[in-house]
Amino acid sequence: MENHTRESLSQMSVLVAEDDPIAREHIGTYLKRRFHKVYAVEDGEKALHLIEKHTVHIIILDIYMPLLNGMEVARILRKKDLDIPIIILTSHGEAEMLQEAVSLRLSGYILKPLRLGNLEEMLLRCVNEMHKRGRILTQLSNGATYNYVTQSVTKDGHKYALTKNEKRFLKIMLRNRNQLLSFDAICEAMDPNLEMTNCALRNLVYRLRKKIGAESIISDSGGGYTLQ
């Protein structure tokens, strides 16, 4: 892999969902040499639960697993994130299940038995595509840069760490850039169970503006916000 791709991978986390314990261990051992963090689970439900709790940058799914298969998991994930790379592992006899792969914007699929060289090639493609789409580094207003992988902001040579809610807020606003989002829409997207007042959100935005620039987030008189 190219040096910049290796460096990007070494900062990322990856999830592999594979019900075969031998295959899961084989893939996991390889991934641990490439990624900062590797999550390995044996079924689709555990995959979704883990993704809700942790930041994952690339997802590898076996097409046939207990409880939820790989395509069902991909379908659910795409409703929340249109761009996260998803790789499907499949056998020849399961190829017909890939008919909706185009509509789900999968990064690709790899035939089993898995060859690590094929997986490495696919990971390289994923990272390059993430770079092209601004899913690793994206420019904000006032010269600030947001790093999706480290979830930090760099401005005027200074790197700023973000709080958990600042990360959530900024991720939502980036996904809806240049669109006005209401207070209710922001709170629902951040966490439906999160009880946040208008005052708390204003304070969050106030602190975040200090890190990314005051002009980056525009307030609306109705209580909403727009990220420029």
Amino acid in position 91: S
**What digits encode the pLDDT tens for the residues 138-183?**
888 878 899 988 889 999 889 999 998 999 899 899 988 999 999 9
Provide DSSP, 116-162: HHHHHHHHHHHHHHHHHTTSSEEE-GGG-EEETTTTEEEETTEEEE-
Which tokens go with 203? 């304070």
User: Within 13 A of 109's CA, how many CA atoms are on the CB side?
Assistant: 24
Neighbour count for residue 87 (Cβ, 10 Å)? 22
Neighbour count for residue 205 (Cβ, 10 Å)? 18
CB-CB contact of 61 with 47 (8 Å): yes
CB-CB contact of 217 with 211 (8 Å): no
Q: What's the whole-number mean pLDDT along residues 28-46? A: 96
Q: What's the whole-number mean pLDDT along residues 209-225? A: 89
DSSP state of 107: -
pTM of the model: 0.79
Q: What pLDDT does 92 receive?
A: 63
CB-CB contact of 145 with 139 (8 Å): yes
Long-range contacts of 191-198 (CB under 8 A, 24+ apart): 198/223
Q: Is the pLDDT of residue 106 over 60?
A: yes
Strand pairing category for 58-62 and 13-17: parallel
Structural domains of the chain in order of their starting residue, each with its CATH number = 3-132 (3.40.50.2300), 137-227 (1.10.10.10)
Q: What pLDDT does 1 receive?
A: 46
**What digits encode the pLDDT tens for the residues 14-26?**
999 999 999 999 9
Provide DSSP, 23-76: HHHHHHHHHHTT-SEEEEESSHHHHHHHHHHS--SEEEEESS-SSS-HHHHHHH
Q: What pLDDT does 96 receive?
A: 62
Q: What pLDDT does 197 receive?
A: 86
